[in-house]
Amino acid sequence: MEYLNTILKYSKMYKQHFFTLSNGNKIPGPSTIGAGSIYYKPDESTYNPELTKFLEKAFQELKGVIHVDAADYYNTYPETGDAFKANFKNGWKKREELWYTDKFDSNGGNTPTPKIHVDKVLDRLGLGYIDLYLIHHPIVSEKLNLDVVQI
């Protein structure tokens, strides 16, 4: 939480910036927060309430678009999902004020294909869409039996 308190201290000076892509769409510039592998867990069977509290506080108190970085590999969907659900229930941030990045574990992690992974994430988090979806590793495990076209 000390990390978030430091961010909150400087957030009074915050101004949201956007970048225009070549197709005319805009994406938010680097936000004041990204919560990713800092809360990595070896599996989802343990619950880390600190991550949920961290995200809830960010949703409540930080200005601008909040970036949440996640991955199949981090095993943090229970906490992240609870924080998103609390956010929408309490009306802290609208969906368009949240930038959600997720990554498929191409090393053969928890889900066998990107489509299955996306469906799982959308169902568990209740977001409706993922803003940015990435392949987490540059090499696709042979045990997945996928090629770049399928991914």
Is 74 considered catalytic here? yes
Starting from the edge strand earliest in sequence, which strands make up the sheet with 66-69, in order?
Answer: 66-69, 98-104, 132-135
DSSP string, 75-112: --HHHHHHHHHHHHHHTSS-GGGEEEEEEE-TTT-S-S
Is 136 considered catalytic here? yes
> Which among 39, 74, 77, 100 is annotated as catalytic?
74
> Which among 73, 133, 136, 137 is annotated as catalytic?
136
Residues known to be catalytic: 74, 136
